[in-house]
Amino acid sequence: MVQRILIATLSQSKPMLVECVFSEGVLVMADPVTYPPSRDTLITEMLPRLIKRRASGFKVLVDEVSGEFSKMSGASQVRLNDAHTDGRPVISVALDRYQEMRRTKSIITPQTGTGFEIPQSLIDTSSNNKGETVYNINWPEVTASHVLTILSVYATLHNRPGTADYIAKLTAAFSMKTPATPSADWLIEHQNAKEKPPATLTGESRPDGSIVL
């Protein structure tokens, strides 16, 4: 299954977005687009792109504090410190996935621009009492490029219940598995057939004494 993805970040000093394709286990990030930090510019230039991509089937995630652009575009608002479905922070889930994809050479970062690789200086790891990896983030060093990479990776796993995309997929899957409900006419005919006396081999007697089978 091919996933088309758009990630936008508005929480950093430079608003940016990137489009990606995730196919056969490989994530390819296109060249990013940078916008001026102006609300008017973001509404006239970035917002239409979010709406258009959403309407064409992209999985659109927006990193922002207020949720304003997510609501206007129908995108999913996702922050790095949000909780994933398993309770872990989004950034921990994404970094686990990023490390795996980097080891298997299944992530291709943008060909222009810098800072899309996640450096070791950005994260320090330890383990909790469950043996899970805990990422200690050097937050002042996190850039818009880092956020785009982390959320692009996370998007390959993301399907938030309650979104239009999730409901549409769930409805489609349910309709494929649920047998058609018989109509009222079918039920009436079925009931009448059950109540109709079965034909007998003795036949029906006529007034003249003959029998019709």
End-to-end CA distance of the chain: 63
Reading phi first (left if > 0) and then psi (alpha if -120 to 50, else beta), residue 124 is in: beta
How far apart CA 69 and CA 56 sit, in angstroms, is 18
pLDDT attached to residue 193: 52
196 within some domain: no
| pLDDT tens for each residue of the chain, 213 residues long | 899 999 999 999 999 999 999 999 999 999 999 999 999 999 999 999 999 999 999 999 999 999 999 999 999 999 999 999 988 999 999 999 999 999 999 999 998 878 899 998 898 888 888 888 888 899 999 999 999 999 999 999 987 544 445 445 444 544 554 444 444 554 455 455 545 554 444 455 555 555 555
201 within some domain: no
Specify the residue for token string 């004494």: 209
Specify the residue for token string 């970035």: 46
pLDDT attached to residue 86: 87
Residues in Cβ contact with 167 at an 8 Å cutoff, skipping those fewer than 6 apart:
none
- Residue spans of beta strands (DSSP E) within 15-144: 16-23, 26-29, 33-34, 59-63, 76-77, 107-108, 123-127, 133-137
Structural domains counted in the chain: 1
37 within some domain: yes
204 within some domain: no
Confirm if 53 and 19 have CB atoms less than 8 A apart: yes
- Cα pseudo-dihedral 167, 173, 175, 176, rounded to 10: 170
Domain encompassing residue 113: 3-169
CATH (domain of 46): 3.30.420
212 within some domain: no
Confirm if 42 and 22 have CB atoms less than 8 A apart: no
Report pTM: 0.74
147 within some domain: yes
DSSP 8-state assignment for residue 83: B
DSSP 8-state assignment for residue 43: I
206 within some domain: no
DSSP 8-state assignment for residue 1: -
DSSP 8-state assignment for residue 42: I
Task: State the maximum Cα–Cα separation within the chain, in Å, rounded to a whole number.
Answer: 108
How far apart CA 24 and CA 209 sit, in angstroms, is 81
Two tokens, residue 115: 């800072």
Closest CA to 90 of 164, 152, 24: 152
pLDDT attached to residue 128: 83
Specify the residue for token string 């979104």: 163
194 within some domain: no
